[in-house]
Amino acid sequence: MYKSVVIGTGPAGLTAAIYLARANLKPLVIEGPQPGGQLTTTTEVENFPGFIDGIQGPELMDNMRKQAERFGAEFHMGWVNSIEFGERPFKLHVEDLGEVVTETVILSTGATAKYLGIPGEEEYVGRGVSTCATCDGFFFRNKDIVVIGGGDSALEEANFLTRFASKVTLIHRRDELRASKIMQDRARANAKIDWALDRVPLEIIANDEHGVKGVKVRNNKTGEEEVIETSGVFVAIGHHPNTGFLGGAITTDSNGYIVTTPGTTETNIPGVFACGDVQDTRYRQAITAAGSGCMAAMDAERYIESLEHSAIAM
């Protein structure tokens, strides 16, 4: 039996693993289909403290993994098919491993950025197409860029990107924005934002020599097609928290994000903790994910200690 199983290996899960391993709790860490999480799809990370010249996303994640291994964390790659939360210890059903029994579970499965699924998009992720303005905005200094989406994320990203870009064009498929009024007012007051409303994105125009050159869109009202020229495309149409395997046992909000007790990583089930983007609708940064991973490990340690105390008292 394990003391703790960590599911997910982004900065949250790996930080939890480092803390648990250093506390001699020998966690099992289950890596999903994208080991290292979203940071492995970015190139340079310049805002993770401690790296004066930045660090490549995959290298940062590889370092965290090695750090966890150094202290005794055990890794297994495979899907968690389901978890039996009804009995203690918890039972996980893991691909290629079968049944895994554990006293605590740390959920750090992250959130997956939604993509448009249009030609040119997937091929140019990290080469002109991004889903994270905070991560990649800096690379578009004095360039014309576009943001796609009409929600709070898109408007927040558009506003943020005007710090770097010469112009940001916001492409949205309707003429009405979904974003909150305050975000709309802020964006409308920003002279560097141009609006391409009622435009459905059809294709990212790009080639290997010059990278991204534009976005082909269709005018929703007239049916006309045009190319909006740009060197960078920020897709901001929302995220999916990765909670499907939980079978509805863990309380989530209406968008599927795990709800934790404020100021802690506790979920509705004692002994089950959540950290990183799977429970974060607000910050979604590598450093905040790592911080919440540390919190989850400490919460789990305390919970394990409480189990040991109650066993002695019996």
Give the tokens for residue 150: 């009409």
Catalytic residue among 62, 96, 135, 275: 135
233-262 footprint of ligand NAP as x/- string (CB under 6 A): ----xx----------------x-------
Tally the C-alpha atoms within 13 A of residue 235's C-alpha that lie toward its C-beta.
25
Is residue 54 at the binding interface for ligand NAP, with CB under 6 A as the rule?
no
φ, ψ (nearest 5 deg) of residue 286:
-60, -40
Residue 178 near ligand NAP by CB under 6 A:
yes
The two structure tokens encoding residue 112: 């997956």
Q: Measured from the CB of residue 222, what is the shortest distance to ligand NAP in angstroms?
A: 18
Both tokens assigned to 32: 């999903």
How far from 141 is each of 43, 137, 144, 171, CA to CA, in Å?
Answer: 16, 8, 9, 20
**Separation between Cα atoms, residue 243 and residue 19, nearest integer Å:** 23
Centroid of chain to Cα 132: 9
Tell the smallest beta-carbon distance from residue 208 to ligand NAP (Å).
25
Residue 129 found at the interface with ligand NAP (CB under 6 A): no
Task: Point out the residue whose Cβ comes nearest to ligand NAP.
Answer: 151
Instruction: Assess whether 275 carries a catalytic annotation.
Output: no
Task: In whole angstroms, give the CA distance from residue 200 to residue 152.
Answer: 18
281: contact with ligand NAP by CB under 6 A: yes
Q: Which residue has the tokens 């802690």?
A: 264
- Considering only 31, 103, 121, 152, the residue that binds ligand NAP (CB under 6 A) is 152
Burial class (CB in 10 A: 0-12, 13-18, 19+), 191: exposed
Given candidates 42, 108, 153, 231, which one binds ligand NAP under the rule CB under 6 A?
Answer: 153
Told to check if 156 binds ligand NAP by CB under 6 A, we report yes
136 carries an active-site annotation: yes
294 is catalytic: no
Neighbours of 181 (CB within 10 A): 8
Window 102-121: residues binding ligand NAP (CB under 6 A): 116
Question: x/- contact string, 12-51, with ligand NAP (CB under 6 A)?
Answer: ----------------------------------------
- Helix boundaries (H) for the chain: 11-22, 57-70, 133-136, 152-161, 181-188, 286-313
* Minimum CB distance to ligand NAP, residue 296 (Å): 22
Among candidate residues 132, 152, 275, 280, the one labeled active-site is 132
Q: How many CB atoms lie within 10 A of CB 266?
A: 20
Exactly one of 136, 152, 280, 299 is catalytic; which is it?
136
Tell me how far, at minimum, the Cβ of 201 lies from ligand NAP, in Å.
Answer: 6
- Which helix (H) or strand (E) segment holds residue 193: the answer is strand 193-196
Q: In what order do the strands lie in the sheet with 144-148?
A: 129-130, 232-235, 144-148, 167-171, 193-196
Select the residue interacting with ligand NAP from 174, 188, 210, 221 (CB under 6 A). 174
Per CB under 6 A, 151 contacts ligand NAP: yes
* Closer residue to ligand NAP (CB): 68 or 148: 148
Provide the binding-site residues for ligand NAP, judged by CB under 6 A. Answer: 116, 149-154, 156, 173-174, 178, 237-238, 255, 281
| Residues involved in catalysis | 132, 135-136
